[in-house]
Chains A and B, each alone.
Chain A
């Protein structure tokens, strides 16, 4: 009986300790720092885990192509894909918090900043691959590779991506609206006409706050080429006039009925299908929408430059691009047991992915140059980007690195699409945030 009692006690204690230890276990990257990196297997395969987007044709194509090319270039490297999920990088952050970082991962600037602080990203400044990558960059996209703090954290595949206003030419013709629309007043008048004709003038998936902010930034760049980047200055505690004007312009457009009443509750699928079904006349999204819109609407669709307060301003600012080049791309974990190889592979994957985007998708918006020709039919709208917009681009909007200010912009631009929220409310709220953050 006594022995049984002892055995039972031992079992209970073991169970309790297991639970306790399992709860207290885990760790973060710091625990990995002390781990001795294992040497790459001699003569054998080097296995690298890559966390990358791989969920549709646009993401699978470039990645698979890059991996196939890698097999030719570095046959000793074996890639194990860990498909990224669209979760605001929470899965990746969980990997970091638990010390399970993949060797290579694709991520954005917000996450890279956090990872830089917690030493979950390798600083790539001194690697030969970085020197080569810098030399191969297309002009004007340096901000995609070199972070505001001067370091290189990731190898980008795309260039600076920007926002466009797409419009349905057939609907415009039917409603008797002349193009191009150059001023805010013309856009407001077009909204009225389109509404009268039974169309939603502009679809915007403003349930996602970044798109309303991007729309606002488009208007800001007409008078402040740096866009949101202009707010990132110590001592700037009041919104500059260009930002106030843009807020007033959105208010004017909202009152003219440019946006759907349910705009702030509309997601991408709803907004894009409205546009593709010919229920709305305009649509806002990045230049990456060109492929889908060309496929769905063919010759009926085109993009327009952002309108300004008057024609003179429009002409002067036409080539200021609404789209900031924040660092992003393939980064390497310092905890990788094959770090040197991982750096080379990360640079290679980025370069080849860009190559695929250029040659197969015809996108001129890539970071590294490629000397291969375009092998597919490029949509007319993308050709326009390549021939007309990119060579004439005067300036790109700058990156706003202050998260609090960016969040305040996101929240308040979304509010601007709703009845009753005034430009003055916008200005007051932003001034409050600027006063706190930039003082």
Chain B
């Protein structure tokens, strides 16, 4: 084996196709997007170099603030709901004394395999202000809290984010469950023998040992939130007005509705930068104190 691994020309030869493929489908488009962001380009005509004009315009675009705020809210909802609730459910399901664990695990995962369109249509009906299930539930419980869930400028983004969180909670749950199961049971047993209650043992033993799983889950939740798009498109088409815009929706609008591809590329670059920054921060936070 070492003989083969030591053969550098052979290694290079076998790596080359994968490297080229990766470059062609990932690095090349990213570089093209960065390059195009410095051009005034409608997607069809010859592009003209405009330097930083697209970026200057972007930072004075009122849609940017809305999109960033919505992206952040979306990410927070995903993180809190998917990881918070997902962790609790994973800990519960990992307890061998809980009956019907298999059924629960399957039930949590069902929404993941449904089409986004189906899920959005389902929730559109549930959020209907007149006949929707959500308002009817409040009515049934005699709580005077009927809302126009998808038209409210302040609540609709949370309502939409919840749909995404609900649908993909099962995915995060499966990762978290695998993380819980990967923690050696004797650590947990040792903690309980030392007098820790179950939840305390989880808090001080299981959760710290799931650092890598959390790092991955947070990265997925935050970057999904920042780049959210489909739910907004299907459920409200970004409206009312531009209330539910995110950076991805801005890209869609400028590229496909206004044929302003250069500007859309600038927004894309910003999206990539923010996602990378978020990933770096998450890594930094979770790596802190790891070697202590």
CA separation between A12 and B20, bound complex, in Å?
A: 10
B286 → A minimal CB distance (Å): 36
- Is A265 a contact partner of B150 (Cβ separation < 8 A)? yes
Within 8 A of B (CB), among A174-211: 207-209
Interface status of A29 (Cβ within 8 A of chain B): yes
- Is A403 a contact partner of B239 (Cβ separation < 8 A)? no
- Is B24 a contact partner of A114 (Cβ separation < 8 A)? no
Partner of A265, one of B44, B236, B258: B236
- Is A16 a contact partner of B17 (Cβ separation < 8 A)? yes
- Is A120 a contact partner of B44 (Cβ separation < 8 A)? yes
CA separation between A20 and B20, bound complex, in Å?
A: 7
CA separation between A261 and B17, bound complex, in Å?
A: 56
- Is B24 a contact partner of A420 (Cβ separation < 8 A)? no
Stretch of B93-101, B124-132, B137-145, B218-226 with 4 or more beta carbons under 8 angstroms from chain A: B124-132
Would you call the interface of chain A mostly helix, strand, loop, or mixed?
Answer: helix
CA separation between A269 and B258, bound complex, in Å?
A: 26
CA separation between A363 and B204, bound complex, in Å?
A: 77
Question: Chain B: how many interface residues by the 8 Å CB criterion?
Answer: 37
- Is B151 a contact partner of A264 (Cβ separation < 8 A)? yes
CA separation between A15 and B13, bound complex, in Å?
A: 12
Within 8 A of B (CB), among A233-284: 260-265
- Is B151 a contact partner of A261 (Cβ separation < 8 A)? yes
CA separation between A219 and B43, bound complex, in Å?
A: 36
- Is B241 a contact partner of A23 (Cβ separation < 8 A)? no
Which size class do A's interface residues fall under? 35 or more
- Is A118 a contact partner of B13 (Cβ separation < 8 A)? no
B227 → A minimal CB distance (Å): 20
Stretch of A74-82, A152-160, A366-374, A411-419 with 4 or more beta carbons under 8 angstroms from chain B: A411-419
- Is A261 a contact partner of B236 (Cβ separation < 8 A)? no
- Is B241 a contact partner of A96 (Cβ separation < 8 A)? no
Partner of A96, one of B44, B46, B237, B243: B44
Interface status of A30 (Cβ within 8 A of chain B): yes
- Is B17 a contact partner of A262 (Cβ separation < 8 A)? no
Partner of A412, one of B21, B28, B42, B241: B241
CA separation between A81 and B279, bound complex, in Å?
A: 49
- Is A264 a contact partner of B240 (Cβ separation < 8 A)? yes
Interface status of B213 (Cβ within 8 A of chain A): no
Interface status of B16 (Cβ within 8 A of chain A): yes
Find the B residue at minimum CB distance from A97.
B44
- Is A12 a contact partner of B13 (Cβ separation < 8 A)? yes
Within 8 A of A (CB), among B1-36: 13-14, 16-17, 20-21, 24-25, 28
Find the B residue at minimum CB distance from A113.
B259
Please judge, given known A-B contacts A12-B13, A28-B44, whether A207 and B237 are in contact too, CB under 8 Å: yes
Partner of A12, one of B17, B42, B43: B17
Interface centre among B20, B62, B150 (most CB of A within 10 A): B20
Find the B residue at minimum CB distance from A117.
B45
- Is B239 a contact partner of A118 (Cβ separation < 8 A)? no
- Is A93 a contact partner of B240 (Cβ separation < 8 A)? no
- Is B240 a contact partner of A262 (Cβ separation < 8 A)? no
Within 8 A of B (CB), among A1-49: 8-9, 12, 15-16, 19-20, 23, 28-30
Partner of B43, one of A9, A97, A415: A97
CA separation between A247 and B253, bound complex, in Å?
A: 25
Interface status of A88 (Cβ within 8 A of chain B): yes
B189 → A minimal CB distance (Å): 53
Partner of B258, one of A209, A403, A421: A403
- Is A414 a contact partner of B24 (Cβ separation < 8 A)? no
Interface status of B251 (Cβ within 8 A of chain A): no
Please judge, given known A-B contacts A93-B43, A120-B44, A262-B148, whether A414 and B258 are in contact too, CB under 8 Å: no
- Is B44 a contact partner of A118 (Cβ separation < 8 A)? yes
Return chain B residues, CB-CB under 8 Å to A403.
258
Interface status of B174 (Cβ within 8 A of chain A): no
A408 → B minimal CB distance (Å): 9
CA separation between A260 and B152, bound complex, in Å?
A: 14
- Is A23 a contact partner of B240 (Cβ separation < 8 A)? no
- Is B44 a contact partner of A8 (Cβ separation < 8 A)? no
Interface status of A407 (Cβ within 8 A of chain B): yes
Return chain B residues, CB-CB under 8 Å to A432.
62
Partner of B239, one of A110, A115, A209: A209
Interface status of B153 (Cβ within 8 A of chain A): yes
Please judge, given known A-B contacts A19-B20, A23-B25, whether A9 and B44 are in contact too, CB under 8 Å: no
Return chain B residues, CB-CB under 8 Å to A419.
148, 151-152
CA separation between A255 and B269, bound complex, in Å?
A: 42
Interface status of A392 (Cβ within 8 A of chain B): no
A199 → B minimal CB distance (Å): 13
Interface status of B267 (Cβ within 8 A of chain A): no
B149 → A minimal CB distance (Å): 9
Return chain B residues, CB-CB under 8 Å to A9.
13
Binding site for A on B (CB under 8 A): 13-14, 16-17, 20-21, 24-25, 28, 42-46, 62, 124, 128-130, 148, 150-153, 235-237, 239-243, 253, 256-259
A208-B237, A415-B240 are known contacts; what are 7 more A-B pairs with Cβ within 8 Å? A20-B20, A20-B24, A96-B44, A207-B236, A207-B239, A209-B239, A414-B240
Would you give 30 A-B contacts (Cβ < 8 Å), ordered by A? Answer: A12-B17, A16-B16, A16-B20, A23-B24, A29-B44, A88-B257, A96-B44, A110-B259, A114-B44, A114-B45, A117-B42, A118-B46, A207-B239, A261-B129, A261-B148, A262-B128, A262-B130, A262-B148, A262-B151, A265-B124, A265-B150, A265-B236, A407-B257, A407-B258, A411-B239, A411-B241, A414-B241, A415-B240, A415-B241, A418-B240
By Cβ-Cβ distance, the 9 closest A-B pairs, closest first, are: A118-B44, A415-B241, A118-B45, A411-B241, A264-B240, A16-B20, A23-B24, A117-B45, A261-B129
Binding site for B on A (CB under 8 A): 8-9, 12, 15-16, 19-20, 23, 28-30, 88, 90, 93, 96-97, 110, 114-115, 117-120, 207-209, 260-265, 403-404, 407, 411-412, 414-415, 417-421, 432
